[in-house]
Amino acid sequence: MYPPNNLWLPVSPTIYPHYDPPRNRVAPWALTPCLSVQLRILLRPRVFNNCCPRTYSLLSGIPQAVAQLPLEICRLTLSGIQRPNRESADHDVIIPFVRFPEAKSSAIVAGCLPVTSVVERRKMADSIPLQPVQKRAAYYTADRSKRRYQLEDEASPLDEMPLMMSEEGFENDESDYQTLPRARITRRKKGLEWFLCGGWKFLCTSCCEWLINVCRRKKELKARTVWLGCPEKCEEKYPRNAIKNQKYNIFTFIPGVLYQQFKFFLNLYFLVVACSQFVSALKIGYLYTYWAPLGFVLAVTMVREAADEYRRFQRDKEMNSQLYSKLTIRGKVQVKSSDIQVGDLIIVEKNQRIPADMVFLRTSEKTGTVIGVVIYTGKETRSVMNTSNPKNKVGMLDLELNQLTKALFLALVALSVVMVTLQGFVGPWYRYLFRFLLLFSYIIPISLRVNLDMGKAAYGWMIMRDENIPGTVVRTSTIPEELGRLVYLLTDKTGTLTQNEMVFKRLHLGTVSYGTDTMDEIQNHIASSYSLVQPSQSCNNNTSATPSRKGQSSAPKVRKTVSSRVHEAVKAIALCHNVTPVYESRAGVNGETEYSEVDQDFCDENRTYQASSPDEVALVQWTESVGLTLVNRDLTSMQLKTPGGQILTFCILQIFPFTSESKRMGIIVREESSGDITFYMKGADVAMATIVQYNDWLDEECGNMAREGLRTLVVAKKSLSEEQYQDFENRYNQAKLSMHDRALKVAAVVESLEREMELLCLTGVEDQLQTDVRPTLEMLRNAGIKIWMLTGDKLETATCIAKSSHLVSRNQDIHIFRPVSNRSEAHLELNAFRRKHDCALVIAGDSLEVCLKYYEHEFVELACQCPAVVCCRCSPTQKAHIVKLLQQHTGRRTCAIGDGGNDVSMIQAADCGIGIEGKEGKQASLAADFSITQFKHIGRLLMVHGRNSYKRSAALGQFVIHRGLVISTMQAVFSSVFYFASVPLYQGFLMVGYATIYTMFPVFSLVLDQDVKPETALLYPELYKDLTKGRSLSFKTFLIWVLISIYQGGILMFGALVLFESEFVHVVAISFTALILTELLMVALTIRTWHWLMVVAELFSLASYVASLAFLNEYFGLGRVSLGAFLDAAFITTLTFLWKVLAITVVSCLPLYILKYLKRKFSPPSYSKLTS
């Protein structure tokens, strides 16, 4: 069944030698974006002997004579750079590149054109009827001096068109702005332009310009030869088709993690401090005092990073292990996705992920499979080239704490200099300076990083365990606090805000309107319009049915008129489309799915509809719900079933596909029973308003539906006589055979038919929104988050969704940025927009590109003042570029959310990326920092978990800093009392225990604290707005904690020296005990909502300290050698010791509690007003 050396190329390149050409059409679900390249299939001359080549469009659906053309394929060349070789002994088959305007995808038109000269090529090309797809130019010329790519005239000889393709050609995904009939300006590195501006650019010599052009030149893709089914014959080595989202590999993990950690000033400082202990003159205490905390911090960080990397590895392994069927000489072979190579013939099953960039060779509606040849794999695929390498994201809180540690370092140096200065610079003062730097090193707490990292892990665990947002996955555990600092939310539309499922909502006939609650009336009208055929009639003619005269006469005159109008409108909607019904049986004999042949039973249970647009499917499904069902369609006819079960057959004479320029589609059909010829057309109101007859309700009703967020379509018809149609057909065929200006002539002939059409109805279709999208967007707006919608859909669709989702409120004006193509037009439009106030902005991708090129700062400044912004026709690179612009010009935190592969670059560029697992696959979910299952979950993710994570980390970080400042203050007082001697107050295990077992658990328990309940945070999203100002962690709050630390450190040390003057030798034990009690009490005073784990942490730390007194008595002296004072075990049990220690503790904490109480009483925070 699979010939090893000969492949058949009828209609389109296919694998099977026997097949039915009319059934071989690409199912819309099977389409995937292909690359903008030209294909050459080199054929041996002998294959054209004794055969007459015909043409056929794989994608069209136009009936054409198709001949089985056996072609032995030698090789398939992607001539992205080199031109077709006219001197070659072989023949060239040119396959033009096309694009579905509605399907957001591209494919290859398999028109077989064996040609040998330019004249023959033109003749053969002119003989091909226009395909119902939007042709996309595949020929470019490159002006290297100006770096501009210009679209060439398609009528010029193919051999005279130099072809060039660079990586910029792969940037297009959903956008068509690159194919506009004007030059496309390449994106330049603005840093070089700024560097070369002014006089410096004037002084550059030609040599410098050449060097700059070489540096700025983008990588050009070389022409490649792809052997069908024989990847081992490929001369070049191509990358593996493996998905890799990991940041490190086995060799770069340790160096990479160490670099990421030591680039922070905090960890780098402690590394220097720990290394200084190897110098005997600078050694203070024990080595493990410094190396143990640093090693613990690095170990915790590495374990966390290793866990994240392992999870990424498991996800990548799951995707790379998916099995696909590969066609070989031996038949079908199962191969993993990661093992697919360039040139492999892969069978992609229905609903299966496209594993690589492929050119489709064959597809079938019966089995739902596609056969394609792999062209690009791995990092050369368009989806990968549209995305950047995953970066190590650092939260704003980490950056702020890094700045605070630098300030603390300056304070450390200043304090050390002061101590040396007061000492009088006697002796080796520089050595004393370094020793003071080491003594006061706890001003910068080494446990800060480990506490924050463990806190981040705890936040991620809480997020994934939240039952209110099931299925949420934290893929990047380093930035949960970013969820609480967001100002801009950039969201995709399709699959994110919407379900990409259209629902019919409204039918308007001019004098009467039907909504979802009155659809039963339409069903009654349709039922009354068709009579039930008698059994004898049904046997004689079961393919025709006409409206019953008797049924019509029994109704009143008004009812008869309304029924007739409803009948014509529904009939037009059921006929004017490109939908194909597909029948699938439940299960075959072996349990596998079988696809049945189309028969006369037309079972409703296993019928599904396929089309290039979900709008089309929604309309046909609605006609089925009211009684008129599309049961069969092929290239030449379609059949409708009436409510009575009769079959109406219509012959398809012509189809005029929808294009973005015409904004309408049409079809000419002949009813088989009566022979009547009717021209049906539907389209946008702006396009249909000048075509239909005069009416006084169309504009007003279109406005009403648009305000409701519905997508409108105007439906019209025109009856044609046989003579009128024959005249049109002759002129239409002549226009298609024209050698010059063929497209314009064809359009003119069609427009001659589009005159004085009868307006039938206006339909309103709603793109079904995700669950609770409206309240979620309202919550985010109240939280002070500005929402930008970036979509690849057309402007009208994006505007409708913005209204229906309440992204733009009803009383809010919308400014639609008109198309601009140059600097002057952009200047005028920006000035017009500047005069608008409090209005939403809607702009297309091509206009956005022009504005950002000439007026980047001005545009971003104006757009940021809008309550909502909608960018349509955006490519993936544009989405990422917008994110970076907001980051650069505003300095605020951004969040991007999407569900498709075209959103990956935007998600990775944002400060916080959220992916939704949707119908478009898991690529966005895998590349995101957080993965959710529904858009509504983002509300709780931000309002509850984001807010709590930020406030908890801010409190935790400042408390850890306070803990280090207190003990450093005590050290400074102690050194001052001993004449500024660089002698440590605490050393050995006391210092290690103070930062770990004695105070770590109570301090870390702050990650469980919350100021308000989750329900309150969701009910009052305005609380989130305060977080964007950074008041929880600022230099003001930092200064307050510094003053608190200085006060408490001074009280603890001076209290120990004054109250225990007679027991001066026990000052270490006294002060350290008071310090531990003070820290535990400060944690208790900071907590706002108690958790049972907090109580356990407090009691455990206190018990641990009391138990350690039994074997740590040697550490509580002033020095075993100098003073020889040891801790008296009976001393700590005396009443005098206890009440004086408690007195010191109370004096250090009670004033702070009183001040805190007064502040809450007279100037309460916003959250306390809600909880009181």
Annotation-wise, does 353 bind a ligand? no
Q: Is the pLDDT of residue 46 over 50?
A: no
Report for 446-450, 549-553, 603-607: range of highest mean pLDDT: 446-450
Q: Two tokens at 947?
A: 């807010």
Residue 30 pLDDT: 31
Instruction: Identify whether the C-beta of residue 381 lies closer than 8 Å to the C-beta of residue 170.
Output: no
772 is catalytic: no
Annotation-wise, does 793 bind a ligand? yes
Annotation-wise, does 903 bind a ligand? yes
Nearest residue to 60 (alpha-carbon basis) of 9, 16, 105, 100: 100
- Tens-place pLDDT, residues 1046-1076: 999 999 988 888 876 655 567 887 888 899 9
Across 645-688, the runs of DSSP E, i.e. the strands, are: 647-656, 664-671, 677-683
Q: Whole-angstrom distance between the N-terminal and C-terminal Cα of the chain?
A: 79
Torsion of CA 745, 747, 752, 755, to 10 degrees: -170
Residue 575 pLDDT: 94
Nearest residue to 833 (alpha-carbon basis) of 811, 848, 853: 848
Q: For residue 561, what pLDDT band results from cuts at 50, 70 and 90?
A: confident
Mean of the per-residue pLDDT values for the chain?
Answer: 75
Nearest residue to 1149 (alpha-carbon basis) of 1066, 1056, 1074: 1074
DSSP reduced 3-state for 1151? helix
Task: Give me the mean pLDDT over the 868-876 stretch.
Answer: 90
Annotation-wise, does 947 bind a ligand? no
Nearest residue to 815 (alpha-carbon basis) of 838, 797, 793: 838
Q: What is the pTM of this model?
A: 0.68
The CATH classification number of 406-466+944-1171 equals 1.20.1110.10
Residue 375 and residue 12: Cα distance in Å, rounded? 17
**676-710 exposure pattern, b = at least 16 Cβ within 10 A, e = fewer:** ebbbbbbbbbebbeebbeeeeebeebbebbbebbb
H-helix or E-strand spanning residue 726: helix 722-736
Question: How much of the chain exceeds pLDDT 90, in percent?
Answer: 29
The bridge status of strand 786-790 relative to strand 868-872 is: parallel
Q: Two tokens at 804?
A: 């229906």
Residue 1160 and residue 1059: Cα distance in Å, rounded? 33
Max CA separation in the chain (angstroms): 124
Q: Two tokens at 805?
A: 């989702």
Instruction: Identify whether the C-beta of residue 397 lies closer than 8 Å to the C-beta of residue 957.
Output: yes
- Tens-place pLDDT, residues 93-144: 333 333 333 333 333 333 333 333 444 444 443 443 433 333 333 333 333 3
Distant-in-sequence, close-in-space partners of 412: CB < 8 Å, separation ≥ 6:
437, 440, 441, 443, 444
Torsion of CA 702, 704, 710, 716, to 10 degrees: -30
The separation between CA 424 and the C-alpha centre of its own chain, rounded to angstroms, equals: 63
Q: For residue 86, what pLDDT band results from cuts at 50, 70 and 90?
A: very low
- Tens-place pLDDT, residues 339-362: 898 888 999 987 788 889 988 888
Nearest residue to 99 (alpha-carbon basis) of 38, 149, 36, 161: 36
Residue 612 pLDDT: 79
Q: Two tokens at 1140?
A: 């004086």
Annotation-wise, does 604 bind a ligand? no
Q: Is the pLDDT of residue 862 over 50?
A: yes
Structural domain boundaries in the chain: 21-241+340-377, 256-324, 406-466+944-1171, 487-499+767-940, 503-652+665-765
Residue 461 and residue 456: Cα distance in Å, rounded? 9
**11-48 exposure pattern, b = at least 16 Cβ within 10 A, e = fewer:** bbbbbeeeeebeebbbbbbbbbbbbbbbbbbbbeeebe
Residue 1172 pLDDT: 55
Residue 363 pLDDT: 77
Q: Is the pLDDT of residue 242 over 80?
A: yes
Residue 704 and residue 714: Cα distance in Å, rounded? 14
DSSP reduced 3-state for 81? coil
Per the listing, tokens 């207190």 go with: 966
Give 671's strand partners.
Answer: 650
Residue 37 pLDDT: 30
Q: Two tokens at 450?
A: 């480990």
Task: Give me the mean pLDDT over the 1078-1089 stretch.
Answer: 91
DSSP reduced 3-state for 971? helix
Q: Two tokens at 1143?
A: 């007195």
Encoded amino acid at 1033, one letter: L
Distant-in-sequence, close-in-space partners of 860: CB < 8 Å, separation ≥ 6:
885, 886, 889, 890
Annotation-wise, does 1009 bind a ligand? no
- Tens-place pLDDT, residues 419-468: 888 888 777 788 888 888 888 888 888 788 788 888 998 999 999 999 99
Q: Two tokens at 533?
A: 């055929």
Annotation-wise, does 658 bind a ligand? yes
Q: Is the pLDDT of residue 625 over 50?
A: yes
DSSP-derived secondary structure for 825-891: HHHHHHHHHHT--SEEEEEEHHHHHHHHHH-HHHHHHHHHTSSEEEEES--HHHHHHHHHHHHHHH-
Residue 1128 and residue 1060: Cα distance in Å, rounded? 14
DSSP-derived secondary structure for 459-473: HHHHHHT-TTSTT-E
Q: Two tokens at 925?
A: 């979910």
Per the listing, tokens 């064959």 go with: 362
Instruction: Identify whether the C-beta of residue 986 lies closer than 8 Å to the C-beta of residue 520.
Output: no
Annotation-wise, does 730 bind a ligand? no
Nearest residue to 677 (alpha-carbon basis) of 746, 623, 616, 726: 726
Instruction: Identify whether the C-beta of residue 788 lies closer than 8 Å to the C-beta of residue 491.
Output: yes
Annotation-wise, does 143 bind a ligand? no
Task: Give me the mean pLDDT over the 217-240 stretch.
Answer: 73
Instruction: Identify whether the C-beta of residue 831 lies closer than 8 Å to the C-beta of residue 804.
Output: no
For the 487-499+767-940 domain, the top CATH level (class) is: alpha beta
Torsion of CA 296, 298, 299, 300, to 10 degrees: 90
Across 979-1063, the runs of DSSP E, i.e. the strands, are: none
Q: Two tokens at 996?
A: 């770990």
Q: At what angle do helices 447-464 and 396-423 cross, to 10 degrees?
A: 160
Residue 842 and residue 815: Cα distance in Å, rounded? 6
Residue 109 and residue 11: Cα distance in Å, rounded? 10
Instruction: Identify whether the C-beta of residue 1127 lies closer than 8 Å to the C-beta of residue 1066.
Output: yes
**Annotated catalytic residue: which of 308, 344, 492, 911?**
492
DSSP reduced 3-state for 267? helix
Q: For residue 1171, what pLDDT band results from cuts at 50, 70 and 90?
A: low
Nearest residue to 378 (alpha-carbon basis) of 334, 408, 333, 342: 342
Residue 515's alpha-carbon distances to 223, 373, 512, 1014, in angstroms, are 56, 48, 10, 39
Residue 577 pLDDT: 92
How long, in residues, is the chain?
1172
For the 503-652+665-765 domain, the top CATH level (class) is: alpha beta
Residue 387 pLDDT: 64
Residue 214's alpha-carbon distances to 171, 205, 218, 318, 738, in angstroms, are 21, 14, 9, 41, 44
Question: How much of the chain exceeds pLDDT 70, in percent?
Answer: 72
Annotation-wise, does 44 bind a ligand? no
Task: Give me the mean pLDDT over the 842-865 stretch.
Answer: 92
Q: Two tokens at 549?
A: 């005269």
Distant-in-sequence, close-in-space partners of 193: CB < 8 Å, separation ≥ 6:
none
Give 16's strand partners.
Answer: none
Residue 126 pLDDT: 44
Residue 87's alpha-carbon distances to 81, 95, 225, in angstroms, are 17, 19, 18
Residue 403 pLDDT: 87
Lowest mean pLDDT: which of 508-512, 541-545, 643-647, 787-791? 541-545
Residue 1112 pLDDT: 66
Residue 393 and residue 1005: Cα distance in Å, rounded? 26
Residue 449 pLDDT: 79
Annotation-wise, does 711 bind a ligand? yes
